[in-house]
């Protein structure tokens, strides 16, 4: 693996983590790893994904595959607290725990699965009782795992768990994330929701562009509405949708389109079968774009050429996506239907 050619972790931090793991003998798998597991031996499974809401949404097909294959077992989920209510309503698992308050340290499981290569999550697995532990080798912790494969970092984040399940002979029939909630919601063909939130400031679109986009949408006869996002200053004289994630998801299910940055909201919309348009900067859309037939994105035509503070993200690249270009993409999606390929990049004309 070329550490400095991947877009998953900060290369310097990953390099240091791998060096330390090699020194303590925790980088390579145990000799007897990946032994076949009798299906009858599995009665209780815990999947750990405690970091981000978008990450949990993207492992939904893997959770579904586990529940189908181990039909006599309980598949449980440990996730970020803000997602618990929606995960329960969507029946993503037989039981959902909120990390860290509800972490089942004293429960006994037959299998723990971590679909991320984060060493912190692997260390968390060591604190929960289980016969088998499955995950990826990337930053270390390999000796903790009984079933392990190299991390397929070149694949889309939705697809990476499938490689681990294949190693464990678990078939994946449906590969597109789907949340079975609000399926009877009546869609307003003119309602377009805007979500400006993103964890990293370099992943956010400029506030003045959001205001200009609202004007363009209204001039075209659409009804744009902003969704309040944590740590994002609200625009003046703009009404916002507020509430917990379950309430926001209900609004998204009834919209014609959601526009957002490369963050949780676009993955949620696509999983709710609402077309989602994600704004990308310097990061690779093929790794984290909203997945499936309802996912679309727009990105700069040229690779990043700016001096930047973040090893992967670039605010200047985000600013290269103009509101007029985004408006053209909105028309393309809504006029041609929600099942476009979503692979088109912004044309050179759009970037001017």
Average pLDDT, the chain: 92
At residue 193, does pLDDT exceed 50?
A: yes
Mean pLDDT of 212-224: 97
Mean pLDDT of 240-266: 97
Q: Which of 305, 318, 300 is nearest to 204 (CA)?
A: 318
Asked if omega into 100 is within 30° of 0 (cis), the reply is yes
> Which of 27-31, 142-146, 183-187, 287-291 is predicted with the least confidence, judged by mean pLDDT?
27-31
Cβ-Cβ contacts under 8 Å for 162 (sequence gap 6 or more): 61, 62, 172, 175
What does the pLDDT read at residue 1? Answer: 56
What does the pLDDT read at residue 139? Answer: 87
d(CA 157, CA 315) in angstroms, rounded, equals: 23
d(CA 181, CA 11) in angstroms, rounded, equals: 38
* DSSP β-bridge partners for residue 114: 48
Strand 108-114, strand 44-49: pairing = parallel
Mean pLDDT of 87-106: 97
Structure tokens at 37: 């597991």
* DSSP β-bridge partners for residue 75: 45
What does the pLDDT read at residue 340? Answer: 40
At residue 191, does pLDDT exceed 90?
A: yes
d(CA 159, CA 136) in angstroms, rounded, equals: 13
Q: How many CB atoms lie within 10 A of CB 190?
A: 15
pTM of the complete model: 0.93
* DSSP β-bridge partners for residue 147: 134
Domains assigned to the chain:
3-167 (3.40.50.2000), 188-336 (3.40.50.2000)
Cβ-Cβ contacts under 8 Å for 2 (sequence gap 6 or more): none
Location of structure tokens 């912004």: 346
CB-neighbour burial class of residue 206 (10 A; exposed 0-12, middle 13-18, buried 19+): middle
Helix (H, G, I), strand (E, B) or coil at 192: strand
* Backbone torsion region of residue 259, taken as left when φ is above 0, otherwise alpha when ψ lies between -120 and 50, otherwise beta: beta
What does the pLDDT read at residue 277? Answer: 98
At residue 147, does pLDDT exceed 80?
A: yes
CB-neighbour burial class of residue 28 (10 A; exposed 0-12, middle 13-18, buried 19+): middle
What does the pLDDT read at residue 149? Answer: 95
Helix (H) or strand (E) holding 88: helix 84-89
Q: Provide, rounded to the nearest whole percent, the portion of the chain with pLDDT above 70.
A: 95
At residue 101, does pLDDT exceed 60?
A: yes
Cβ-Cβ contacts under 8 Å for 243 (sequence gap 6 or more): none
At residue 268, does pLDDT exceed 50?
A: yes
Mean pLDDT of 106-119: 94
Query: How far is residue 51 CA from its own chain's centroid?
Result: 10
At residue 343, does pLDDT exceed 60?
A: no
d(CA 96, CA 85) in angstroms, rounded, equals: 9
d(CA 344, CA 317) in angstroms, rounded, equals: 17
């Amino acid at each position: 693996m070329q550490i400095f050619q991947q877009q998953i972790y900060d290369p310097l931090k990953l390099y240091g983590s791998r060096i330390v793991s090699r020194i303590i003998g925790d980088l390579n798998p145990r000799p007897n790893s990946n032994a076949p597991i009798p299906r009858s031996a599995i009665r209780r499974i815990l999947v750990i994904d405690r970091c981000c809401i978008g990450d949990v949404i993207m492992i939904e097909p893997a959770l579904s595959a586990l529940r189908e294959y181990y039909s006599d077992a309980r598949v449980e989920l440990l996730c970020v607290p803000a997602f618990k209510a929606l995960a329960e309503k969507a029946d993503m698992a037989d039981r959902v725990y909120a990390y860290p308050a509800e972490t089942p340290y004293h429960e006994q499981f037959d299998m723990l699965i971590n679909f991320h290569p984060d060493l912190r999550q692997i260390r968390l697995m060591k604190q929960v009782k289980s016969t088998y532990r499955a995950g990826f080798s990337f930053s270390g912790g390999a000796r903790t795992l009984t079933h392990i494969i190299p991390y397929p970092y070149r694949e889309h984040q939705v697809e990476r768990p499938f490689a681990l399940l294949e190693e464990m002979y678990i078939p994946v029939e449906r590969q597109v994330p789907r949340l079975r909630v609000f399926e009877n919601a009546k869609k307003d063909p003119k309602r377009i929701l805007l979500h400006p939130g993103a964890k990293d400031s370099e992943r956010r679109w400029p506030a003045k562009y959001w205001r200009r986009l609202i004007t363009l949408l209204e001039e075209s006869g659409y009804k744009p509405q902003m969704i309040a996002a944590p740590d994002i200053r609200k625009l003046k004289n703009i009404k916002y949708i507020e509430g917990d994630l379950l309430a926001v998801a209900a609004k998204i299910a009834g919209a014609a389109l959601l526009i957002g940055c490369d963050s949780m909201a676009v993955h949620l919309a696509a999983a709710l079968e609402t077309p989602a348009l994600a704004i990308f900067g310097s990061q690779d859309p093929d790794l984290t774009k909203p997945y499936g037939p309802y996912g679309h994105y727009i990105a700069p035509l040229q690779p990043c050429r700016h001096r930047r503070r973040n090893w992967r993200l670039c605010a200047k690249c985000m600013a290269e996506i103009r509101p007029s270009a985004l408006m053209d993409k909105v028309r393309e999606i809504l006029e041609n239907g929600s099942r476009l390929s979503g692979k088109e990049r912004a044309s050179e004309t759009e970037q001017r």
